[in-house]
Amino acid sequence: MPCYQVQTVSVSFHAKNVALLQKAAESLGYKFSHIGSSITLSSAGSIVKIDIQAGKALAQDQNLVDALKRAYSQQAIKLAAKLGGWQVKNLTSTKGQLLRGVL
C-alpha cells in the first residue's frame, strides 16, 4: 500500500509592505491573493502561504520561499533607490550597483 506524504517548510518571513510583496510575487510568476493578514501565492501547482502578522511562510519547497525573499529584497531596494534619486544597475542576479548622477 503506497504511503503519501506532503512535506512542508515553515520559514520566518517578515514582509512589511504588501504592495512590494505582490510585485515580487508577480515578478516570479505567482498569482497573488490577500485576505486579512493571510497571503496565498500559487503558480504551476506550487503554493506558498504567508501569515503577515506571525511573520511565517509555509511552502512545500524551501527554494520557493528563498526566491520570494530575494525578489522582495530586490523590490525594496528598487523602491528605496527611487525615493532617494538613485538608479539600480543589476550586474548579475545577486549583485548590483546604486548609481546617482552628479550635476
Determine the Cα–Cα distance for residues 8 and 60; give it in Å rounded to an integer.
4
At 46, list the grid cell: 506550487
Domain ranges of the chain: 9-77
| Architecture, CATH, for domain 9-77 | 2-Layer Sandwich (3.30)
Q: Is the pLDDT of residue 98 over 80?
A: yes
Q: Strand, helix or coil at 86? A: coil
User: Looking at residue 5, what is its pLDDT?
Assistant: 64
Kindly report, residue by residue over 36-82, the tens digit of the pLDDT: 889 999 988 888 898 888 888 888 888 888 889 999 998 999 999 99
Q: Is the pLDDT of residue 103 over 60?
A: no
Q: Is the pLDDT of residue 23 over 90?
A: yes
What pTM value is reported for the model?
0.80
What's the Rg (C-alpha) of the chain? 16
Percent of the chain with pLDDT over 90: 23
Name the nearest CA neighbour of 49 among 28, 30, 75, 71: 30
87 and 97 Cβ atoms separated by less than 8 Å: no
User: Looking at residue 37, what is its pLDDT?
Assistant: 87
Name the nearest CA neighbour of 8 among 61, 69, 65: 61
Determine the Cα–Cα distance for residues 91 and 59; give it in Å rounded to an integer.
30
